[in-house]
Amino acid sequence: MQIPFLAWLLQGIPESIAVAVFVFSLSTKAFSWNNVLKVGIIQAIVIYLVRLMPFTPGVHTLVLITSLALVSMMIGKLEFKKAVAYSAIIISFIVVFEFAFYSLITLCGVMSFQEMNNNVWTRIAVSYPQVIVVCLLSLLVRRKGLNRGFDKIFQNQKM
């Protein structure tokens, strides 16, 4: 499903930056905003290009998890297994939250799914709650030290 350019610019890029913040928040490594912005912008471009391709539903999600992991590894210097796990966690969260939020709006009778997707301004407005939630979760993970728990999981595994 193609993304209108305006929706990508005003919603896709902020969402991709929020996703990058979350990936780096799960890591115990110190991260720079420069790296977060690079990963977010590259991921936004990948999302735009991948959504132009006629993939079977769900395939683009796997491609996006992979691309986020690879970009996080190259730019953020994350370990492979951590980058893949963190990317899968946040992309899965985005999919579930978006589905739940869109379902809630339609079940409450506020508007239909078609109305949300057909009007670019509505589409942008409806997507911002997930961007805000991802940013708040990133802050919570970092502030409460929840990222150390993820780090311990990887330290206890032998390859």
Asked whether the predicted pLDDT for residue 29 surpasses 90, the reply is no
pLDDT digits (tens, 9 = 90+) for 49-60: 998 888 887 898
68 and 87 Cβ atoms separated by less than 8 Å = yes
Interatomic CA distance for residues 85 and 23, integer angstroms: 9
82-98 residues labelled b (16+ CB within 10 A) or e (exposed): bbbbbbbebbebbeeee
Interatomic CA distance for residues 41 and 33, integer angstroms: 12
Return all residues near 33 (Cβ < 8 A) that are at least 6 apart.
none
Predicted pLDDT at 87: 94
pLDDT digits (tens, 9 = 90+) for 81-117: 889 999 999 999 998 998 898 888 899 988 888 888 8
Average pLDDT, the chain: 88
H helices within 27-155, ranges in order?
A: 33-52, 59-76, 80-107, 113-118, 120-143, 146-155
Instruction: Read off the pLDDT band of 142 (50, 70, 90).
Output: confident
